[in-house]
Amino acid sequence: MTARALQALDRILDRSEDADDALRDTVSLLAGEPGLTWAGIAFLDQGTLTLGPAAGTADESRRLRVPISYEGEPVGELWADGEADAAFLARVATLIAAHVLVGWDTDGEAWEP
């Protein structure tokens, strides 16, 4: 995983007006990174994780799960299959946290991360 991938993620998050689009583009970016075969974002709702956007070919035997928190509260997990760099994925989780919160449930309220 590279600085190039983080720059691409910054561009995705800057240009996306919709949280769902940003998260779909994020998992597509991650699944295309060398060493990764699949990426997904699971949303946390009342203690249960539910898989949302995902891309690539899953291999659960090689899955790394990274918590995603917004303002100290867990909102989901970033899942990646393959040879994942935990520090890189933790950085991605931090960058997408507000989008994960919005992507899951805003009760119909307009909100900007």
Residue 110 lies in a domain: no
Residue that wins the pLDDT comparison between 97 and 101: 97
User: For residue range 31-81, what is the model confidence (pLDDT) as tens digits?
Assistant: 999 999 999 999 988 888 999 999 999 999 999 999 999 999 999 999 999
Residue 7 dihedral angles phi and psi, to the nearest 5°: -65, -40
pLDDT the model gives residue 5? 84
Residue 109 lies in a domain: no
Residue that wins the pLDDT comparison between 17 and 58: 58
Residue 32 lies in a domain: yes
The answer to whether the CB of 75 falls within 8 A of the CB of 101 is: yes
CA 12 to chain centre: 12
Residue 113 lies in a domain: no
Residue that wins the pLDDT comparison between 74 and 84: 74
Q: Distance between CA atoms of 92 and 6, rounded to whole angstroms?
A: 8
Residue 89 lies in a domain: yes
Q: Distance between CA atoms of 4 and 97, rounded to whole angstroms?
A: 20
- Measured CA angle at 30 (ends 28, 36), to 5 deg: 115
Residue 81 lies in a domain: yes
pLDDT the model gives residue 3? 80
Q: Distance between CA atoms of 62 and 71, rounded to whole angstroms?
A: 29
Residue 67 lies in a domain: yes
pLDDT of 109 > 90? The answer is: no
Task: State the total domains in the chain.
Answer: 1
Domain holding 53, by residue range, is 3-104
pLDDT of 14 > 90? The answer is: no
Residue 33 lies in a domain: yes
